[in-house]
Amino acid sequence: WGAAAAAADAAAYPGDGLRVDSAEFRPSWGADGSDRPPPPPPPPGSPLRRSASDWTAYGFGGAPQPLLPLGGAARQRGRRAALSSSPPGPRDAVDYAFDHSKAKTGEDSRTTLMVRNIPNKYTQRAVLEEIDVKFKKTYDFFYLPIDFKNKCNVGYAFINLCSSTDALRLFDEFNGRRWTCFRSGKVCAITYARIQGKQAMIQRFQNSSLLSESLEVQPRLFVSSGPDKGRPEQFPGGAAVPAAAPAPAA
């Protein structure tokens, strides 16, 4: 983000104690910058967003949003509500690391995962299409955060699987694997999310102005069980799911 922007943010909000130049919290762009160009620096003298409220914090190692000038208050309030907590530091990494042996034995039964290193050109639909090749009807929540200024995703997503067994299968399939589209060299990495479960995610987003956006950028819900398992369902307070919206096929 540049030394000047980092210094200005630290001076404006000294209580944050966050290092915006830390490799731990850099955006997951390609090494050559091909996935997404860096945003322009904020205009001189313009107020900066509080960086802690711009960093996704549902899972370990979230990448930051750009430090943008304040504006569009309604949208910013909604995005802050959805992404408000500060990301855990490295000392908390063990709490979110996916322990394969514990997941396999059932000792760790968490089901909500953070999927990292997603190429920034991927849309919500593109990510779900890649997941659905082997995991249709196995998840009931999905959210791919979007950078509205640059109109692309920020490099990670959150998905809640219907069972810990499905979470283990998805980890085995995607963790350490390259993504198939856009000739990206990014390698998928999966950890547990901090907020766990479909209902907890609904509570987290239910008052967010993101729910006034299109379905392509909203958090998405799917039926968790029964004969309609996997069918898209309306997020409480969100946009209606069109009747023609296809449910994942069996």
| Mean pLDDT value of segment 193-207 | 92
Distance CA 200, CA 162 (A): 14
Summary mean pLDDT of the chain: 73
* Lookup: tokens for 129: 């299409």
Is there a contact between 8 and 48 (Cβ–Cβ < 8 Å)?
yes
Classified as helix, coil or strand, 187 is strand
Q: Is the pLDDT of residue 192 over 50?
A: yes
Map residue 173 onto helix, strand or coil: helix
Where do we find the tokens 């998405």? Answer: 220
- Residue indicated by tokens 């090494």: 31
- pTM listed for this prediction: 0.63
Predicted pLDDT of residue 22: 33
pLDDT exceeds cutoff 60 at 167: yes
With cut-offs at 50, 70 and 90, classify the pLDDT of residue 24: very low
Residue in this structure with the two tokens 């479909």, named with its chain if needed: 198
Answer whether 157's CB lies under 8 Å from 127's CB. yes
Q: Which two tokens stand for residue 20?
A: 């915006």
| Range name among 76-90, 150-164, 215-229, 235-249 with the lowest pLDDT average | 76-90
Question: Which phi-psi region, left, alpha or beta, contains residue 84 (left: φ > 0; alpha: ψ -120 to 50)?
Answer: alpha
Buried b (16+ CB within 10 A) or exposed e, 150-169: eebbbbbbbbbbbebebbbb
- Residue 233, both tokens: 């369902």
* Greater pLDDT, 73 or 236: 236
Report percent pLDDT > 90 for the chain: 44
Please count the CA atoms within 13 angstroms of the CA of 39 that sit on its side-chain side: 19
The mean-pLDDT minimum among 76-85, 130-139, 210-219, 226-235 falls in 76-85
* Residue 155 predicted with pLDDT over 80: yes
How high is the pLDDT of residue 70? 41
Beta-strand relationship, 112-116 and 156-161: antiparallel
Least confident of 5-19, 60-74, 94-108: 5-19
The region of weakest confidence among 18-22, 125-129, 137-141, 221-225 is: 18-22
More confident residue, 81 or 243: 243
**What residue type is assigned to position 14 of the chain?**
P
Dump pLDDT digits (tens) for 27-59.
444 444 445 545 555 555 544 443 443 334 334
- Cα gap 176→96, rounded to integer Å: 16
